[in-house]
Amino acid sequence: MTTAIENVRVFDGSAMSEPRRVVFGESVFADDAAVADAVVDAAGGVLLPGLIDAHVHTVRGRADLEDLARWGVTTGLDMGAWPLAFVDDMRRQKGVAQILSATIPAVGSGGHHARMPGFPAEGIVNNPDEARAFVGRRVADGADYVKIVTEAAPPEGMDQATVNALVQAAHEHGLLVVAHSVTTGAFRVAVESGVDVSMHAPLDAVLDDDTIARMREIGMVSVPTLTMMEGTANLFAAAGFRYEYARDTVTAFHDAGIRVLAGTDANSAAGAPFAPNHGESLHHELDLLVAAGLTRIEALASATSSPAQVFGLGGRGAIAAGLRADLLLVDGDPASGGTRNIAGVWIAGDRVR
């Protein structure tokens, strides 16, 4: 089936067009004048690439993917799921958000994640030899990237040599490395090892200028998950955690030219300190990123073209001839307001809302 959306402004991942016509089947057509089976009058609304949430967990399976799609999130980057049969089943789902996955993350034996109910023993890594073996198993599992949980030091976290070995082994296999870091000490461990993407933002203090400068130097990308940081901070206020530290760190990232991606840590996991709703929470994340200093256009790019570029999601994150027709139609102007006024969602050309 082919669809034409008329009188619609198009956000191509970096800029907004004048009203035009867009025609698509499974992918976007080059010919905007092509005859279509269905015609939608957008009445001056805006067509966005399907949103990408750069940090989700799919504990509930297809139900989580349906919730993502309902809110225009057509791709989710899963940052920890098991067993492998479950992950593979999620990857095969049709008509819902599509996922990539890290499968099992690497954690130190003394860390919080190692004590979460049901965490698999093969994810516990305590030395460089175990680190290399862990990465080999993730490669065999078909992981799309490697996730590690960095904490300041043993006994809670892995030591620097072990984290370094994880990053080196993953890079030797051509895989990106993402690092969970929620304190300044954990960030320094991640930066020292040369990880590609940091997940979360520090809650114990604003990250120091030297570490931020090093992040920029090595091209490190941030997925601050401000929604998760906002929801978590109050639970740990007695330990000195403050949401403002995370927000101000993102402001510093933006000022330094570090690329920031939108991710929420949406989850329903037992033991998680906070559970952002799948799909809906990404719209809140965009608002928080704007409050931290991103422009509205930069925030839209952080959930479309930027994650597609960083994670190599060919065919997604933009609207152009030949690209996959994952699309979000919004009433009003998301460049000056929000993205919640959803008028339609298409995944690979099929309307799902």
Whole-number Å distance between alpha carbons of 63 and 81? 15
- Domain shared by 19 and 76, yes or no: no
Binned at pLDDT 50, 70 and 90, residue 235 comes out as: confident
- Give how many domains the chain has, as a whole number: 2
Which of 148, 240, 253, 152 shows the shortest CA–CA distance to 196? Answer: 148
CA distance 108 to 198: 17
Tokens linked to 249:
């760190």
Q: Is the pTM of the predicted complex or chain greater than 0.85?
A: yes
Q: 330: number of CA atoms within 13 Å, CB side?
A: 26
| pLDDT (average), residues 8-22 | 94
- For residues 52 and 318, what is the distance between their CA atoms, to the nearest angstrom? 11
Under 8 Å between Cβ of 309 and 52 = no
Nearest Cα neighbor of 40 from 5, 10, 9, 7 is 5
Lowest mean per-residue pLDDT among 141-155, 171-185, 271-285 = 141-155
Predicted pLDDT of residue 116? 82
Is the same domain home to 64 and 38? no
Whether residues 147 and 100 fall in one domain: yes
Quote the pLDDT of residue 145.
Answer: 99
User: In terms of domains, do 15 and 112 share one?
Assistant: no
- Helical residues (DSSP H) of 74-183, grouped into ranges: 84-92, 128-141, 160-172
Alpha-carbon span 169 to 131, nearest angstrom: 8
H/E stretch holding 62 = helix 62-70
Residues 239 and 338 in one domain: no
183 and 265 part of one domain: yes
Q: Is the pLDDT of residue 337 over 90?
A: no
The CATH number for 196's domain is 3.20.20.140
pLDDT band at 238 (very low <50, low <70, confident <90, very high): confident
- Asked if 68 and 25 sit in the same domain, the reply is no
Q: Would you say 265 and 55 are in contact if contact means Cβ atoms under 8 Å apart?
A: yes
**How do residues 55-114 score in pLDDT, each as one tens digit?**
999 999 999 999 999 999 999 999 999 999 999 999 999 999 999 999 999 999 987 888
Query: What is the number of other CB atoms lying within 10 angstroms of the CB of residue 336?
Result: 8
Same-domain pairing of 22 and 130? no
Same structural domain for residues 42 and 69?
A: no
Low-confidence winner among 49-53, 110-114, 236-240, 272-276 (lowest mean pLDDT): 110-114
CATH number at residue 9: 2.30.40.10
pLDDT in tens, 195-229: 999 999 999 999 999 999 999 999 999 999 999 99
**293: pLDDT strictly greater than 90:** yes
Residue 112 has a pLDDT of: 80
Give the max Cα distance, the chain.
Answer: 64
Same domain for 8 and 97: no
Q: Are residues 90 and 61 in the same domain?
A: yes
Q: Are strands 177-180 and 38-41 parallel, antiparallel or unpaired?
A: unpaired
Q: What's the pLDDT at 329?
A: 98
What does the DSSP 8-state code read for residue 239?
G
Q: Domain containing 130: what range?
A: 51-310
- How confident is the model at residue 348, as a pLDDT? 98
The CA distance from 192 to 220, in Å, is 11
Quick one: 331 exposed, middle or buried, by C-beta within 10 A (0-12, 13-18, 19+)? middle
Q: Give the model's pLDDT for residue 63.
A: 98
Q: Where are the alpha helices (DSSP H) in 93-206?
A: 128-141, 160-172, 184-193
Whether residue 34 is found in the same domain as residue 78: no
